[in-house]
């Protein structure tokens, strides 16, 4: 695969991810000499109907986004495969940085100060997405999709959200029924029940921050009922613990409802 030329101009450098019927590749655009991300969807007998729906939705969503901390749509092409098959290829901008998941895999966890910075920066991106017309819900915020612009040994406040493959936009209402997408442990109860609202992304961000500070996967976090027992796994100020508790409140009516509300509460404690 490395060195292979796709679309007559994209030279594959390495594979970044692989799911059933979907590949994510890092490639170099031989025209611009810049790195790009290629997301491939294989159209074959194993492809599920929702795979194509989500792939098309990701393309449509990226075409409408214009934010320095989200990927940019660069194009689309098709690849003919043996046995009359084909693959659809989405081209998007490559974003510099290291994911929070990569830091965790290196044994690095966040300090309270770093978590506060990341929380504020991520909420500002969510504010843009949630106030977009129509509103856009990411639905898969987790350490692997939080990209941190960084220097060696330093995590900065530059935060990008990547992988819009689970995204949902709402033209008329704040929630809808949909195919279950997301990542276990980071999804709130209503999303597990195939509903999503703006506050669903807030829950996922809250769990991501707790995992980032503790290094503990969501399934292993101690709980009281459905609520994460935050003070058992992270040593943070009571104000920040209370904020995280409201971000990850299982009951939707007790959680922050919108990014602006969560951001304003966060600013008051920093």
Kindly give the residue spans of alpha helices, DSSP state H, lying in the chain. Answer: 49-64, 100-105, 112-130, 189-192, 198-214, 238-247, 259-269
- Smallest CA-to-CA distance from 101 within 49, 134, 66, 142 is with 142
Task: Tell me the CA distances in angstroms from 262 to 67, 132, 241, one per residue in order.
Answer: 20, 17, 13
Q: What is residue 154's three-state secondary structure?
A: strand
Residue 255 and residue 186: Cα distance in Å, rounded? Answer: 15
Beta bridge partners of 11: 5, 28
Q: How far apart are CA 251 and CA 189, in angstroms?
A: 8
Among the listed residues 214, 209, 211, 217, the one whose alpha carbon sits nearest the alpha carbon of residue 233? 214
Q: Which of 51, 140, 163, 201 is catalytic?
A: 140
Look up 184 and say whether it is catalytic: no
Integer Cα distance of 40 and 19 in angstroms: 10
| CA separation for the pair 184, 205 (Å, rounded) | 13
Cα–Cα distance for residue pair 32/34, rounded to 1 Å: 5
Active site members: 140
């Amino acid at each position: 695969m490395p060195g292979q030329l796709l679309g007559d101009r994209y030279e594959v450098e390495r594979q970044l991810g692989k799911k059933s019927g979907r590949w994510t590749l890092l490639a170099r655009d031989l025209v611009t000499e810049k790195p790009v991300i290629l997301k491939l969807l294989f159209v074959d007998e194993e492809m599920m109907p929702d795979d194509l729906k989500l792939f098309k939705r990701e393309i449509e969503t990226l075409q409408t986004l214009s934010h320095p901390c989200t990927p940019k749509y660069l194009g689309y092409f098709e690849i003919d495969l043996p046995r009359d098959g084909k693959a659809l290829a989405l081209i998007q901008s490559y974003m510099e940085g290291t994911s929070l998941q990569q830091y965790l895999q290196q044994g690095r966890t966040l300090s309270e100060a770093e978590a506060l910075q990341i929380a504020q920066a991520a909420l500002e991106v969510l504010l843009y997405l949630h106030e977009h017309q129509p509103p856009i819900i990411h639905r898969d915020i987790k350490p692997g999709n939080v990209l941190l612009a960084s220097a060696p040994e330093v995590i900065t406040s530059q935060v990008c959200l990547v992988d819009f493959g689970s995204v949902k936009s709402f033209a008329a209402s704040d929630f809808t029924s949909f195919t279950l997408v997301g990542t276990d442990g980071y999804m709130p109860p209503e999303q597990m029940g195939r509903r999503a609202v703006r506050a669903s992304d807030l829950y996922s961000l809250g769990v991501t921050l707790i995992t980032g500070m503790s290094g503990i996967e969501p399934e292993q976090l101690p709980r009281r009922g459905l609520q994460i027992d935050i003070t058992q796994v992270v040593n943070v100020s009571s104000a920040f613990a209370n904020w995280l508790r409201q971000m990850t409140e299982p009951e939707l009516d007790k959680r922050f409802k919108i990014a602006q509300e969560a951001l304003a509460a966060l600013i008051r404690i920093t």
